[in-house]
Chain A
Amino acid sequence: MALPAHATPVEKVWHYAYLVICALIFVFLIVPIIIIVPLSFNAEPYFTFTEGMLGFESDAYSTRWYQDIFKNGMLNPEAPLSWAWFSDAWNNAQWIRATRNSFFIATISTIVATTLGTLAALGLSRPEMPARSLITGLLISPMIVPLVITATGMFFFYSDIGLAKTYTGVILAHATLGIPFVIITVTATLSSFDTSLIRASASCGATPTTTFFKIIMPLILPGMISGALFAFITSLDEVVVMLFVADVEQRTIPRQMFSGLREQISPTILAVATVLVIISIGLLTTVELLRRRSERLRGLSPG
């Protein structure tokens, strides 16, 4: 994107103006996410920077909101750090319970979505597959259909069959919402998959199961993991279905944040948000590394 030597002054101005505009858009994209990190260390219960924070005074910063994540809801948060304290936190602290619920629901629903999704993507990628675009359209639609509508439908349905306010109901719902991402990522990986490998494997005497685990799976694993991570984060970030079909019992992190933002805004939410940003950085890095690995394996990019 270097400026050619023969550029006219007008073109130079345009060029730099363009770069400034792009820089501003990147600022718009990233600043809201970065800004909450220092804010979460605010010593005061505010959602904004205090004078002391801007002056870098050490007593304007504190980790009290991070401690609050662990303590909020405990029976006796000031007790000495002992087994009793930890079991109190594990069982009673609201955010810890929400985290436990979130990870439990996300893990099971990801396993369901990835297993069924990968199998279906394998079927869809076969050239003989009948009604492919119709079925693909159906399987991807949970991503497109407004969540309120999905949640409304699930609310009625689950109430009728007794799954409302149960973990099973929430897990089923989250698996449904995660499936489009598994289908999209695994299908993308399979699009460059060389099907003659399957025939070669069969002609060497391998059973279909052996072929799957020894030939297909290692090659599509990056896509499967990306899809699983997408499904996982979809579940970890889902609120609407939680609002409609879940109960206090199944309260998750986003559900807890939602009511926190509606009722009393406490900087604890900023501390939780910071932790979530760190989790997303981790997931993003993993997906990016997987993508590069699979490109390298297929010789799409050098090194």
Chain B
Amino acid sequence: MADSALSSQRLHDVPDQLTTADGIPLKRKLAISMRRARWRAFLMTAPLVIFMLISFVLPIGQMLTRSVYNDSFSKALPNFSLALRDWDQSASSDGLPDEALFKLLAEDMAVARKDRTIGRAATRINYDHSGTRSLFMGAARKAKNFEAPYKETFLDLKPKWSNVEMWAAMKRVASDTTTGFYLAAVDRTYDVNNDVVEQAEVRQIYVKLFWRTLYLAGVITVLCFLLAYPVAYLLSVLPLAKSNLLMILVLLPFWTSLLVRTTAWIALLQTEGIVNDVLVWLGIISDDGRVQMIYNQMGTIIAMTHILLPFMVLPLYSVMKTIPPSYMRAARSLGANQFTAFVKVYFPQTIPGIAAGTLLVFILAIGYYITPALVGGQDGQLISNIIAFHMQKSLNWSLAAALGSILLAGVLILYWLYNKLIGIDNLKFG
């Protein structure tokens, strides 16, 4: 302790005495040149960092915003929304707003119908309280001719306008920011008292889908591991000329288009496909008893295992390559049988490779979209597929963004873990 204090003291003293030719203390000169070098390194990286911030980080950030921000209701019905935000539901005896608010609603609806924005507002409230879209559209069609008393007019038009739960939902969607889409993404919703409750049983689909995604990704990761381990071992012990030849069999699928491989699996696995033909020819199954191997979970598992297998083989191989074969020989000569030597000596040394491979395959698997979309059928779909569905078909973009954010959070945690355990710099291909 004293020693190191002394030496650091001495180091501290030295630069005061040493100066460069232009009279600047050496220590300062060094600091300046270090800073310049750091700047130079940073400036070389800067163009790409800026590029990535604009083309990647910003878009994803914007998507995250959309998961909590949705102004389609307040934009279509501005005055009504503003008033509704301040309305206190518990103040009135029947839980419904007063005449003034109904009047604003009628006026805003008439304008929104003319501007053709009423559909968006109706869709937005429908997300929170299903079955209200037609109610809204119906009232908007007639809103132009509504007269006082407005409240009665609405209630006469459809008794559903007195539904307090719907009014609670409307108060929620009148504000532009909401946690509602995150709640929907985990099968929860608000009740009339603004308490979080579980969604009706039939509408609980997303949690199940998240679990299924984790389960399928897990199955695929385990299968990849089981298939990759023996192959990686063989590649690592064979002489270079032979292993290079076999390595091509791993690298060719790796370089082949995802769609080509998915196409191939459709050709192989469909009911009239090659695998079924072979099974019939071998007499294992009858011609009428052809097995459905595709457009279901099995299709997703088989095709994705094939597609992700090289991502498991390559890290395993690069770790196994560095394990000296003499360790196994030493274990054997000390009396361990093949099995013990493998379990106690070889296997533990491959764990870094296993961690790298399984994490990488799992991370890639939970985000897969194309292959499940093509060969997954109904029950082989992953969470990405439902995100794409909400983006392209149901157009509930905020829900898609909320589901996407949850998936992203999961992936980033795994990515952080990967970086911590393996180091992202160690990622290699081929």
Q: Which residues of A contact B (CB under 8 A)?
A: 1, 11, 14, 18-19, 21-22, 25-26, 28-33, 35-36, 39, 46-49, 116-117, 119-120, 122-124, 126, 128-130, 133, 135-142, 144-150, 152-158, 160, 172-173, 175-176, 179, 181, 184-185, 187-188, 226, 230, 233, 236-237, 239-240, 243-244, 254, 257-258, 261-262, 265, 269-270, 273, 276-277, 280-281, 283-284, 287-288, 291, 301
Interface residue B273 (Cβ < 8 Å from any Cβ of A): yes
Structural contact, A179 and B259, CB atoms closer than 8 A: no
Complex: how many Å from CA A149 to CA B392?
13
Interface centre among B46, B264, B388, B397 (most CB of A within 10 A): B264
Pick the residue among A22, A39, A129, A237 that contacts B42 (CB under 8 A): A129
Contact A150/B60 with A184-B427, A284-B251 known, Cβ cut-off 8 Å? yes
Across the interface, which residues of A come within 8 angstroms of B428, CB to CB? 184, 188
Across the interface, which residues of A come within 8 angstroms of B62, CB to CB? 153, 156-157, 160
Q: Name the interface residues of B44-81: CB closer than 8 Å to any CB of A.
A: 44-49, 51-52, 55-63, 66
Pick the residue among A32, A39, A48, A226 that contacts B306 (CB under 8 A): A32
Contact A116/B47 with A146-B411, A172-B55, A187-B425 known, Cβ cut-off 8 Å? yes
Complex: how many Å from CA A61 to CA B256?
25
Across the interface, which residues of B come within 8 angstroms of A19, CB to CB? 234
**Interface 0/1 of B260-286, CB less than 8 Å to A:** 111111111010111001000000000
Pick the residue among A14, A135, A179, A187 that contacts B338 (CB under 8 A): A14
Across the interface, which residues of B come within 8 angstroms of A149, CB to CB? 60, 63, 367, 387, 404, 407-408
User: In chain B, what residue has the closest Cβ to A27?
Assistant: B249
Interface-forming stretch among B17-25, B33-41, B344-352?
B33-41
Structural contact, B267 and A47, CB atoms closer than 8 A: yes
**Interface 0/1 of B394-430, CB less than 8 Å to A:** 0001001100100110011001000100011101111
Write 10 A-B pairs (CB below 8 A) sorted by A numbering.
A1-B234, A30-B249, A48-B272, A156-B63, A237-B259, A240-B369, A270-B263, A273-B260, A288-B248, A301-B240
User: In chain B, what residue has the closest Cβ to A117?
Assistant: B48
Which 3 residue pairs spanning A and B have beta carbons closest together?
A146-B367, A123-B44, A153-B59
Complex: how many Å from CA A123 to CA B409?
29
Across the interface, which residues of B come within 8 angstroms of A130, CB to CB? 38, 41-42
Pick the residue among A49, A140, A230, A273 that contacts B277 (CB under 8 A): A49
Interface residue B366 (Cβ < 8 Å from any Cβ of A): yes
In this complex, how many residues of chain B approach chain A with their Cβ under 8 Å: the count is: 93
Structural contact, A137 and B44, CB atoms closer than 8 A: no
Across the interface, which residues of B come within 8 angstroms of A138, CB to CB? 49, 52, 57
Complex: how many Å from CA A137 to CA B370?
25
Is the contact region of chain B dominated by helix, strand, or loop, or is it mixed?
helix
Across the interface, which residues of A come within 8 angstroms of B56, CB to CB? 141-142, 150, 153, 176
Across the interface, which residues of A come within 8 angstroms of B427, CB to CB? 140, 184
Interface residue B381 (Cβ < 8 Å from any Cβ of A): no
Interface residue B363 (Cβ < 8 Å from any Cβ of A): yes
Across the interface, which residues of A come within 8 angstroms of B66, CB to CB? 156
Interface residue B237 (Cβ < 8 Å from any Cβ of A): yes
Interface residue B214 (Cβ < 8 Å from any Cβ of A): no
User: In chain B, what residue has the closest Cβ to A180?
Assistant: B427
Pick the residue among B57, B259, B277, B411 that contacts A258 (CB under 8 A): B259
Pick the residue among B42, B231, B260, B364 that contacts A33 (CB under 8 A): B260
Structural contact, B259 and A273, CB atoms closer than 8 A: yes
Across the interface, which residues of A come within 8 angstroms of B267, CB to CB? 35-36, 39, 47-48, 270
Interface centre among A137, A146, A160, A258 (most CB of B within 10 A): A146
Is the contact region of chain A dominated by helix, strand, or loop, or is it mixed?
helix
Across the interface, which residues of A come within 8 angstroms of B391, CB to CB? 148, 152, 155, 244
Known pairs A146-B366, A160-B62, A185-B429 / 14 extra A-B pairs, C-beta < 8 Å: A28-B227, A32-B265, A33-B252, A36-B264, A47-B272, A120-B44, A145-B367, A146-B384, A146-B407, A148-B391, A187-B425, A240-B388, A254-B257, A276-B256
Structural contact, A129 and B41, CB atoms closer than 8 A: yes
Q: Shortest Cβ distance from B291 into chain A, in angstroms?
A: 15
Q: Which residues of B contact A (CB under 8 A)?
A: 34, 37-38, 40-49, 51-52, 55-63, 66, 227, 230-231, 234, 237-238, 240, 246, 248-253, 255-268, 270, 272-274, 277, 306, 309-310, 338, 363-364, 366-370, 373-374, 384, 387-388, 391-392, 397, 400-401, 404, 407-408, 411-412, 415, 419, 423-425, 427-430
Complex: how many Å from CA A251 to CA B265?
24
Across the interface, which residues of B come within 8 angstroms of A14, CB to CB? 338
Q: Shortest Cβ distance from B110 into chain A, in angstroms?
A: 29
Interface centre among A25, A32, A122, A142 (most CB of B within 10 A): A32
Structural contact, A237 and B257, CB atoms closer than 8 A: yes
Structural contact, A273 and B367, CB atoms closer than 8 A: no
Structural contact, A25 and B47, CB atoms closer than 8 A: no
Q: Shortest Cβ distance from A176 into chain B, in angstroms?
A: 5
Q: Shortest Cβ distance from A117 into chain B, in angstroms?
A: 6
Structural contact, A35 and B264, CB atoms closer than 8 A: yes
Across the interface, which residues of A come within 8 angstroms of B60, CB to CB? 145, 149-150, 153
Complex: how many Å from CA A22 to CA B234?
8
Interface centre among B52, B61, B66 (most CB of A within 10 A): B52
Structural contact, B234 and A120, CB atoms closer than 8 A: no
Structural contact, B45 and A157, CB atoms closer than 8 A: no
Pick the residue among B44, B387, B400 that contacts A122 (CB under 8 A): B44
